A and B are shown apart, each in its own frame.
Chain A
Amino acid sequence: DAMVIQNPRYQVTQFGKPVTLSCSQTLNHNVMYWYQQKSSQAPKLLFHYYDKDFNNEADTPDNFQSRRPNTSFCFLDIRSPGLGDAAMYLCATSRTLAGADTQYFGPGTRLTVL
């Protein structure tokens, strides 16, 4: 019954080695989000897609890219991971951007950078 699925749950990469995290959803929601969350901190929005319309947060580093090939899937590409990019990466979806539309989160991918 999983609605927002993230793979892998745990990812280890080496400093500077590109890595891709994936997210899929069975809710048919229009909006998909990627957040970065470090320990004991609030989730930080990196970007979101409304359908195919990509919206990048102003302070998201260029090192982070995203692709949404279809409604169900969204990918987070980290081109050259640094030690500071070690975090939990959360994918979320919502039906629209409206206030009453709850964001549903996947289980997250914990990224370790060696």
Chain B
Amino acid sequence: EAQVTQNPRYLITVTGKKLTVTCSQNMNHEYMSWYRQDPGLGLRQIYYSMNVEVTDKGDVPEGYKVSRKEKRNFPLILESPSPNQTSLYFCASSFTQGSEQFFGPGTRLTVL
């Protein structure tokens, strides 16, 4: 089944404790992206990747890191999480820039 998977689905952590949210797609998509969803703000793009080893900042990259060492994986790293990073996070992938995106199920992160 074609899909985007994220892990974990739910995470409660404390300020400053490094964490990684994994994202994997099995569709051989070139383009992958991370978003955060906050009430009243819609989805805001954090980082995106056009292909392996090619990443760039979205609209809200501060406090986040990403890597794209393999085509299928695009992990999101929070080196020192803060409470303002409490949010619902989505990973997405698509064949190309103009293609529709396939979204993962989301990761609900709470930083205390």
Q: Do A and B bind each other?
A: no
Point out residues on B near A: beta carbons under 8 Å: none
